[in-house]
Amino acid sequence: MTSHEIDYTIYGEEMQYVEIELDPQEAVVAEAGSFMMMDNGIKMDTIFGDGSGQTEGVLGKLFSAGKRLLTGESLFMTVFMNAEQGKKKVSFASPYPGKIIPLDLTNFNEKFICQKDAFLCAAKGVSVGIEFSKKLGRGLFGGEGFIMQKLEGDGMAFMHAGGTVSKKELRAGEKLKVDTGCLVGFTQNINYDIEFIGGIKNTVFGGEGLFFATLTGPGTVYVQSLPFSRLAGRIIASVPRTGGKSKGEGSILGGIGDLLDGDNRF
């Protein structure tokens, strides 16, 4: 194996974290801000890129970091290595309510494609690269632009998704239509494209966007029930406007509505 072999346990229901057990000299790489806790004896180090090109000299490091820039991520990742004898544990937490998805990349022909913000952590040696869209429509309207992340290697990787996660196994030729924001990731054999919803009423009044993500098997697809963009949109919509007025100030009830729901302050 080129990737470090790690053991893990996932704890929690809605706000999960993954605890990774490291043997001596084993290491795991993680996105900045996902660290939760670790045993004494684990060495923490910041590196360019994902760590998979660290033996390739300066150019390998720069190329690894450059791939992350294209996906909108930081140039740096953090490595947590067990520098002592005996087993040590390090934990990483999900950034918002949802599920942590463990991926043994050897079960997916050593490659898995996911949305840009889905990656949480992985065994050192797993490559966190970029997957360019080869179709104009998918790049323009797919919700993730022309670039998605690809996880490559023979180790364990962990994704995070919002809400409840559904795993779909598609047979050859079987098609699944998904809201573009609800798509988490899929295996490399899946044919991913964009389909126009169609219909004037659906387009103008449907409130579900103009396009579906269509995924055609064979392969595995992960779908989330609560994309972070949807969660953030609801939070922003409920934030009071300038001057302390809520979004309901233009409603028919106006101030009466504030009195009824207890928002009015005297």
CATH number of the structural domain spanning residue 140: 3.60.160.10
Domain membership of residue 257 (yes or no) is: no
Question: Which residues are CB-contacts of 171 (< 8 A; sequence separation ≥ 6)?
Answer: 217, 218
Domain count, the chain: 1
In a domain, 98, yes or no: yes
The set of residues, in sequence order, having a beta carbon less than 8 Å from that of 62 and lying 6+ positions away, is 48
pLDDT tops 90 at residue 233: no
Average pLDDT of the residues of the chain: 78
Q: Is residue 1 part of a domain?
A: no
The per-residue pLDDT for range 25-51, each reduced to its tens digit, is 999 999 888 899 999 999 999 887 666
Model confidence at 232, pLDDT cuts 50, 70, 90, reads: confident
The Cα-based distances of 221 to 198, 207, 216, 264 in angstroms read 24, 24, 10, 47
For residue 42, give its domain range.
Answer: 7-237
Residue 254 covered by a domain? no
Does 49 fall in a domain?
A: yes
